[in-house]
Structure 1
Amino acid sequence: MLTAAYCVERLKPSDFIALVGTISRIRGGTIYEINKVISHKAYNKPYKFDNDIAVISTKKTIEFNENVQPLPLPKKNIQSGLSCIVSGWGYLNNQLYSDKLKYLYVETLTSEQCSRILSNGRSSTVILPLHMCTLSKRGQGTCLSDAGSSLVCNGTSAGIVSYNFPCALGKPDLYSNTYIYNTWIKQNTKSP
């Protein structure tokens, strides 16, 4: 499983579980105990939220079924202007966690487009290729507790929610670009 390094940086495998096969945080699905967590060694280097990616392995092999399927990694970098789906359990309408998994259609931006929007002519915000951005309309986007969630583009795990400026205010949301990390992910998810 993929997540943001930010989400697991202070956790041991015994501190949390994986719940799969449900859109509810409190009902249904199957629970798996965590075996190992590997965060990118260069997390927060050289800049905050750089390399914000981690892999999680479970003690037992996850069983795939109608409600549980793996997402393949992208074979090429995601282009701008693509409609993708981001999902998460985060902050919504003054409620810290949603019981039901929420999703939103968003449009991808290039690093250059994202940097330009975030800079707004005032600062020198630079988004590197190891990140990717999406944008939706004001009032929609990722928020608190969505970090670590998946961005799905063309049926692949294209990004991992990293951070936002702030929640749903018409600014781009940032993700770790999984295409850039394909080799690292494969190296760290090999079975022993």
Structure 2
Amino acid sequence: MGAQISGRIFNGVSVEIEDNPYFASLGHCGAVIISDEYLLTAAHCVDNGSENPVVYVGGNTQANSQVVYYDKVILHPNYIYLIDIPLNDIAIVHLQKPLQFSEKIQPLKLPTRKASKNSPFVLTGRGMDETGNLTEILKRMYVMKLSNEECVSVLPYYIYGDSGGPLVQEGVIYGLASFGGNDCRTSTVGFYTNVLQYVSWIRYITGL
């Protein structure tokens, strides 16, 4: 799934967690809440394990977020790197204790059909900002989907820290930020794991 970027998160708009209560952070990557026990993120964010299995939820910043812990990561069985590009870049994260839902902590729905071609997606995250540092505050931007033909005519983008972040349309999680280019100033297109293709696997693992 390719997406034309209209400003990038580093030029995005600061938002309140109440407007994006599904967002979770692994510190170095984003994630999305899909139930009180499970998150989704990009597989390349968690493929090396972690000595500090922490998740931050319910806050605009990491400092004011609730800290929870995870005890298991399930990588997609077909996750691989091919010429430095992650394929089947999706993982399920199981939390040690169930979340307590509130106005700041809510799950997103899994997709049951293709996304609308006429509605923009919303990308949220705490990726790199214009100073070259990871932003401390949650930001949002709007993203439009491109066809495969349009994608091959432009350069990809990727900004450290946005990986695994949710791409949302009308309350449904359709994508997870996966890969792209290296320069925020010149890169304009991002590539996302298409969650719809993995719904059966997600439901099999999680029981949702």
TM bucket (normalised to shorter chain) is: 0.7 to 0.9
Give 1:187's aligned residue.
204
Q: Give SS of 1:15's match.
A: coil
**Structure 1 alignment gaps of length 5 or more:** 119-132, 134-140
Residues of 2 paired with 1:112 and 1:179: CA distance? 20
Give 1:60's aligned residue.
97
Q: Give SS of 2:101's match.
A: coil
Q: Give SS of 2:74's match.
A: strand
Task: Confirm whether residue 49 of structure 1 aligns to residue 86 of structure 2.
Answer: yes
Q: Could you report, residue by residue, the CA deviation over 1:85-113 in whole angstroms, capped at 9, with x for unpaired residues?
A: 10111111224211101111111112332
Alignment counterpart, residue 192 of structure 2, candidates 175, 185, 191: 175
Instruction: Verify the 8 A CA contact 1:89 1:97 in the aligned structure 2.
Output: yes
Q: CA 1:170 to 1:95, structure 2 compared with 1: closer, same or farther past 3 Å?
A: closer
Work out the number of aligned pairs and report it: 168
Q: Letter of the aligned partner of 2:69 in structure 1?
A: E
Give 1:6's aligned residue.
44
Q: Letter of the aligned partner of 2:71 in structure 1?
A: N
User: Normalized against structure 1, the TM-score is what?
Assistant: 0.79
Q: Letter of the aligned partner of 1:162 in structure 2?
A: S
Larger Rg: 1
Instruction: Verify the 8 A CA contact 2:167 2:173 in the aligned structure 1.
Output: yes
Instruction: Verify the 8 A CA contact 2:158 2:187 in the aligned structure 1.
Output: no
Q: CA offset at residue 79 of structure 1? A: 4.3
Q: Letter of the aligned partner of 1:89 in structure 2?
A: R
Residues of 1 paired with 2:177 and 2:131: CA distance? 20
Give 2:136's aligned residue.
99
Q: CA offset at residue 84 of structure 1? A: 1.1
Residues of 2 paired with 1:178 and 1:165: CA distance? 21
Q: CA offset at residue 170 of structure 1? A: 4.5
Instruction: Give the 4+ runs in structure 1 shifted more than 4 A.
Output: none
Q: CA offset at residue 188 of structure 1? A: 1.8
Amino-acid identity (%): 29
Summarize the alignment of residues 72-91 of structure 1 with structure 2, pairs less than 5 Å apart. Answer: 72-91=109-128
Give 2:4's aligned residue.
none
Q: Letter of the aligned partner of 2:199 in structure 1?
A: N
Q: Could you report, residue by residue, the CA deviation over 1:11-69 in whole angstroms, capped at 9, with x for unpaired residues?
A: 14x52211111111112x32111121111121126663110000101011111111111
Q: Could you report, residue by residue, the CA deviation over 1:146-177 in whole angstroms, capped at 9, with x for unpaired residues?
A: 10110011211110000122344253100000
Q: CA offset at residue 116 of structure 1? A: 3.7
Instruction: Verify the 8 A CA contact 1:79 1:108 in the aligned structure 2.
Output: no
Residues of 2 paired with 1:142 and 1:170: CA distance? 8
Q: Give SS of 2:71's match.
A: strand
Alignment counterpart, residue 148 of structure 1, candidates 147, 153, 164: 164
Q: Give SS of 2:133's match.
A: coil
Instruction: Verify the 8 A CA contact 1:79 1:110 in the aligned structure 2.
Output: no
Alignment counterpart, residue 69 of structure 1, candidates 102, 106, 109: 106
